Chains A and B, each alone.
Chain A
């Protein structure tokens, strides 16, 4: 009796405020989708960071024979490469010095052939890749640091040394990309906050309208001694059902969003093979959180609104 009674009350309430209910569902869905999107974006940045930072932090490019006296592209020789390609003795010296540095965790040596191979992998079909040859590539030491922030140490030690073409902090290049993604993240969170405020205001208003249109019922309930829980529950359940529907829509948006951006539609996975994209599992792991927030947030908003508009 009780469950059936409460359910029928909720159904009546939701239908009575159909337009409001719809508005609540849409605003909750949008705010939660943005919230989920922001979470996933952060995860994406994290995944990319892990991917890149784990591999290498600093690269020391060594002089190749092209660097002396102009090289193939006619670029002016840089000062430290004026004497042409690096000698094996210089190479060993650098390697030994690197191993002596306490901040260095590991050193890989990349030969020109390997560099060529990686370049081909990255830019396989582009025009420039087809005219480049292995001997145009630079040899390099790829260094993994114990603490990626200590880039300066390596930089000051090796920049300008004979045989060293340049020292590059890999993070610098990545940082611009990450900064952009973080910016987008902040923007998404701001829009989310705005949508959330709209959603909450809509819920408060819906509850107010609902409480007003049902003031006869609630008045009688109060007089015959219904508990406040019993009086408030239909309102809260209404908000919860609308919120949950919004959460379900948000989950749908996130799933189609990932599909559109990464697999189908924009096909980022194909056009940007270097990037390590988050998988379906990451998206799916966000969904329960979205649903729970979709359920709880409107319920809490309704509860707060009831304190104001429904005297028990």
Chain B
């Protein structure tokens, strides 16, 4: 599903590379936590998977494709198989819940009938049935994140990338979100989640990948968050 071979990434005007010689593989259906302090390279790792950045050295394979050799115009096709969730939800404030989710299908040209069927279905899945016509501003943080997850999942991606999805939420709400991500993972979708949330990582006991100053320092099946952070 995802394979990094000796991947390094340095940004111009920065002495220290953001990622240094990272090699790892993530299989289909896995649930992986990505941990590490700020500036450890988590975001760069995710951006490389999304092909928002290209690796300076080494090879990144996502969904069986070598991203270095993927031409620009094929990137959108690749991204349609990925779902993305962020800490700040990134909903459109002037669209309703249903419209926000439908937006992800409209802009890739899905037929209207399909959208009408898929949107209520995915909203039910995330536990927002009956709130289709609410505006994002009327929802709690947890509910807004559920909308964002619904939008990321509505196109049934193979891989869900979550960048600190519980970063803005209280512990109880976070647990609900994690349950939802777990349920999505059980449908066969690979989930890669960057997080700072120690409790969640310790409770879930999933694979943990730890980055430190751009290096891969730990790759542990059924791991915990770690102690020093």
A-to-B contact residues, CB < 8 Å: 1-2, 5, 216-217, 219-228, 230-231
Q: Which residues of A contact B152 (CB under 8 A)?
A: 224
B115 within 8 A of partner (CB): yes
B79 within 8 A of partner (CB): yes
A222 touches which of B79, B92, B112, B155 (Cβ 8 Å)? B79
B90 touches A226 (CB 8 A): no
CB distance from A210 to the nearest CB of B (A): 15
Q: Per-residue 0/1 for B36-80: is the Cβ within 8 Å of any A Cβ (1 yes, 0 no)? A: 000000000000001000000000000000000000110111111
Q: Which residues of B contact A228 (CB under 8 A)?
A: 72-73, 76
Closest B residue to A1 by CB, please name it: B112
The answer to whether A225 and B92 touch (CB under 8 A), given A1-B106, A5-B106, A230-B109, is: no
B112 touches A221 (CB 8 A): no
B79 touches A223 (CB 8 A): yes
A2 touches B80 (CB 8 A): no
Q: How far is the CA of A231 from the CA of B108 in the complex (A)?
A: 10
CB distance from A211 to the nearest CB of B (A): 16
Closest B residue to A218 by CB, please name it: B107
B79 touches which of A5, A224, A230 (Cβ 8 Å)? A224
CB distance from A264 to the nearest CB of B (A): 50
A230 touches B90 (CB 8 A): no
A225 touches which of B72, B77, B111, B115 (Cβ 8 Å)? B77
Q: Which residues of A contact B82 (CB under 8 A)?
A: 223, 225
Q: How far is the CA of A230 from the CA of B76 in the complex (A)?
A: 11
The answer to whether A224 and B50 touch (CB under 8 A), given A1-B115, A217-B92, A230-B107, is: no
B-to-A contact residues, CB < 8 Å: 50, 72-73, 75-82, 84, 90, 92, 103-104, 106-109, 111-112, 115, 151-152, 155
B92 touches A226 (CB 8 A): no
CB distance from B90 to the nearest CB of A (A): 6
Residue from B76, B84, B92, B155 with most neighbouring chain A CB atoms (10 Å): B76
Q: Could you list 17 A-B pairs, sorted by A, with CB under 8 Å?
A: A1-B112, A216-B90, A217-B92, A217-B103, A220-B151, A221-B107, A222-B76, A223-B82, A224-B151, A224-B155, A225-B78, A225-B80, A225-B155, A226-B107, A226-B108, A230-B107, A230-B108
Q: Which residues of B contact A223 (CB under 8 A)?
A: 50, 79, 82, 84
Q: How far is the CA of A221 from the CA of B108 in the complex (A)?
A: 8
The answer to whether A225 and B76 touch (CB under 8 A), given A1-B111, A5-B106, A230-B109, is: yes
Q: How far is the CA of A216 from the CA of B72 in the complex (A)?
A: 21
CB distance from A33 to the nearest CB of B (A): 38
Q: How far is the CA of A221 from the CA of B104 in the complex (A)?
A: 7
The answer to whether A224 and B107 touch (CB under 8 A), given A216-B90, A216-B92, is: yes
Q: Which residues of B contact A216 (CB under 8 A)?
A: 90, 92
Q: Which residues of A contact B115 (CB under 8 A)?
A: 1
Q: How far is the CA of A57 from the CA of B152 in the complex (A)?
A: 80
Q: Which residues of B contact A225 (CB under 8 A)?
A: 75-82, 108, 155
